[in-house]
Amino acid sequence: MKILQIVPSISLIYGGPSQMVLGLAPALAKTGAEVTILTTDSNGDNGQKSLDVPLNIPIQQDGYQILYFRCAPFRRYKFSIDLLEWLKTNAKNFDIAHIHALFSPISSAAAIVCRQQKLPYILRPLGTLDPADLRKKKQLKQLYVALLERRNIENAAAIHFTSEQEAKISSRFGVNTNDLVIPLGVIPPNNNLEDARTKLSIPRDKTVILFMSRIDPKKGLELLIPALEKVLTAGFNFHFILAGTNPQDPIYEQKIKSRIENSQLKSRTTITGFVTGEAKIGLLQTADLFVLPSYYENFGIAVAEAMVAGVPVIISDQVHIYQQVLDSESGWVGTTDVESMVKLLTSALSNPQECQRRGLNAQKYALQNFSWDAIAQQVIQAYQEIINTP
């Protein structure tokens, strides 16, 4: 089976949802499939330099190949004429395309090319069909749907949702679709790294509460910070780690940092900035609790990463894997308000033994259900069914 994965960018700057193809591709390759990722050299929308990568030539890695194309024209919108020309010429050599992101010009154009070349394609919306997301730039998106995206959705072999909740609430603009619900995967961490407590000088008697995600208004930090202040006033002994950044919205990022700087949390908080690799794993292994009170989250890859590291999670019911967290007793789930977060934090901090139990549950569930190898088998089966259907 020859598979195309098409994604506007895999730069770290765009977060986990875009980068998931770097986990899926090698897992698919292990099944014997030939996998090619098509993407651009985009590395941010606010004047950042493009990715320093070879262009227009296959790069072999981890059993698959990746091709980067220059963003041109319309660099701001991650568009690439070269990518589309390559796809038009080579589509006949593949069995299926998996296109990641809607309302992205390169993804929309790629779907049109696939349709013209009679290559079946799957669309993964990355939460863009969530009613909350559709309210952003509503009129522009309505026009975009009318001109491009409705027809792309209508002709897709399937829509790939990463949770039942995402599929349930997503808009299809009156189109009947074949839904494919398959979660994202995570890689179990190496457990032999140095404890981040030592590096960050966090006392051993303090419970470590970790937020690790993009610093964005939808992530619920403006709920979490006042909730932490109230929990601190109630006498709980904890240290808060804020790990993340947002080069796309540095003004909001600075707003959050200033909020903490002028708060009683200042002496109880470490702000690390963006973390990856061993630094990221070290934080996950150090955390006693992971928090993400998002207003909407189509999957919550950071939550799954915390779970596989054995960290119990505190999330809102707008993180769409919340039902799995409840069913597996892997943490606590609340609503998107300050008092709910205070209640959950208080429950967790009051009972270390229960935290430990839920952390073990979280790790067990994640290893069984968020393994890339298991997910790749589900994806391959879906691909085969599509390819074999006239």
Using one digit for the tens of pLDDT, what is the confidence trace for 244-282? 999 889 999 999 999 999 999 999 999 999 998 888 999
Strand partners, 243: 212, 273
Structure tokens of 240? 């808060």
| pTM for this entry | 0.87
Express each pLDDT in 79-95 by its tens digit.
999 999 999 999 999 99
Look at residue 245 in the predicted model and tell me its pLDDT: 92
Rounded Cα distance between 106 and 116, Å, is: 15
Average pLDDT, the chain: 93
Arithmetic mean of pLDDT, 73-81: 78
Structure tokens of 254? 């600075």
* Burial class (CB within 10 angstroms; exposed 0-12, middle 13-18, buried 19+) of 194: exposed
Residue 44's closest CA among 293, 274, 258, 319?
Answer: 274
DSSP strand pairing (64-69 vs 59-61): antiparallel
Rounded Cα distance between 302 and 139, Å, is: 31
Domains of the chain from N-terminus onward: 2-185+371-387 (3.40.50.2000), 196-369 (3.40.50.2000)
Residue 192 pLDDT class (50, 70, 90 cuts):
low
